[in-house]
Amino acid sequence: MMRDGNNQPSIGCSEQPHQMHRRDVLKSAAVVAATTIPSPAVAKELSDGHPPLIDTNVSLFRWPFRRLPLDRTEVLVDKLRALGVGQAWAGSFEGIFHRDLASANGRLFEECRPYPGLLPVGSINPTLPGWQRDLDQCLSKFRMFAIRLHPGYHGYDLSDESFRELLQRTAKAGCLVQVVVTMEDPRTQSALVRVQDVDLAPLPDLVSSIEGCRIHLLNHRLRGSQLEPWKRLNKVYFDTARVEQTDGVAMLLRAVGASRVMLGTHAPFLIPEAALVRCCESELSDTEIRSVVTESASLLRDELSRRG
């Protein structure tokens, strides 16, 4: 069994070093897609012989508007294990809708404890009184290396002064900030909760002005000319969850570099196989695929661990 950066058992992978190839990732996705609940035997067969994948974008607990097939933690972990995922960065649906984020983050921390490869990422809402205490709890009590923000649901712009203060505090602490651009397509949103994609326009200048700031954009759909402002910002990272079209991942890598693109599935909201197949259908070399699904996230977390 592989171990994470803290020498803890991961979700599930082999210790044998091996060169990861496109066929390894595709094999995992294709076989598990046909398996309703993967067995331990299937998980071992798929994970043996190649390095563990790192999924930087999963969420725990229940989405309030409908049940999701993988919304029980043990089922989600089984699915990730069967796909060869050895580590997953886990936020919380409760962190979007609950006002008492100290309690929500505490529940997330406890939910992850039985699964050492499941790394909790606490939620912060800088519009709430006392959000600084919530942040301190995530960093000091729970020793989280990252936090997750939902500006669209929490009702603030990236130009707000509270957001700048949050970035300054996290930069000083060596903490990654995940900004969720969207959660679901507007066409499937509840009529009672209509949330537009987050306007990212203020972010490039803001990141440039704060030394040590690390931003990870989740569920973005940036393409073409939209990527221009981000090319020079080497401390802004991207996930693959909602990258569109078969050439989308390759286009993203060509624009910002392989070291800044990391696998993110947005599970259980989206099926995790989709992100893996999307990576493999792109015009990427085996080296680039390995960077996306494992190495970039591993190097970033190691860097944050040294700074924190």
Token readout for 265 is: 């599935």
> Any residues with CB less than 8 A from the CB of 76 and at least 6 apart, and which?
58, 60, 70, 267, 268
- What pTM was estimated for this model as a whole? 0.86
Does residue 284 lie in a domain region?
Answer: yes
Give pLDDT, residue 34: 36
**247 pLDDT above the threshold of 80:** yes
Give pLDDT, residue 13: 41
Does residue 147 lie in a domain region?
Answer: yes
Number of Cβ atoms within 10 Å of the Cβ of 266: 24
Give pLDDT, residue 245: 77
Could you tell me if 198 and 152 are in contact, meaning their C-beta atoms sit under 8 angstroms apart? yes
The conformation of residue 269, written as its DSSP 8-state character, comes to: T
| Structure-model confidence comparison of residues 283 and 180, the more confident one | 180
**36 pLDDT above the threshold of 70:** no
Does residue 217 lie in a domain region?
Answer: yes
Number of Cβ atoms within 10 Å of the Cβ of 174: 16
Q: Which residues of 102-119 are buried (b: 16+ CB within 10 A; e: fewer)?
A: eebbbbbbebbeebbbbb
Based on its alpha-carbon atoms, the radius of gyration of the chain, rounded to whole angstroms, reads: 18
State how many domains the chain has: 1
Does residue 12 lie in a domain region?
Answer: no
SS3 string of 113-160? CCCCCEEECEECCCCCCCHHHHHHHHHHHCCCCEEEECHHHHCCCCCC
**115 pLDDT above the threshold of 50:** yes
Could you tell me if 238 and 220 are in contact, meaning their C-beta atoms sit under 8 angstroms apart? yes
Residue 275, CA distances (Å) to 53, 56, 132, 222 in order: 12, 12, 34, 16
Query: What angle do helix axes 272-281 and 22-33 make, rounded to 10 degrees?
Result: 150
Give pLDDT, residue 21: 59
Does residue 148 lie in a domain region?
Answer: yes
Least Cα distance to 28 among 80, 87, 90, 73 occurs for: 80
Does residue 1 lie in a domain region?
Answer: no
pLDDT bucket at 35, cuts 50 / 70 / 90? very low
Does residue 78 lie in a domain region?
Answer: yes
Residue 175, CA distances (Å) to 49, 171, 224, 243, 251 in order: 32, 6, 29, 25, 28
Token readout for 127 is: 């519009």
Q: Which domain holds residue 69?
A: 22-187+202-307
CATH of the domain at 164: 3.20.20.140
Does residue 124 lie in a domain region?
Answer: yes
Could you tell me if 181 and 218 are in contact, meaning their C-beta atoms sit under 8 angstroms apart? yes
Peptide bond into 268 cis (omega under 30): yes
Average pLDDT over residues 35-55: 52
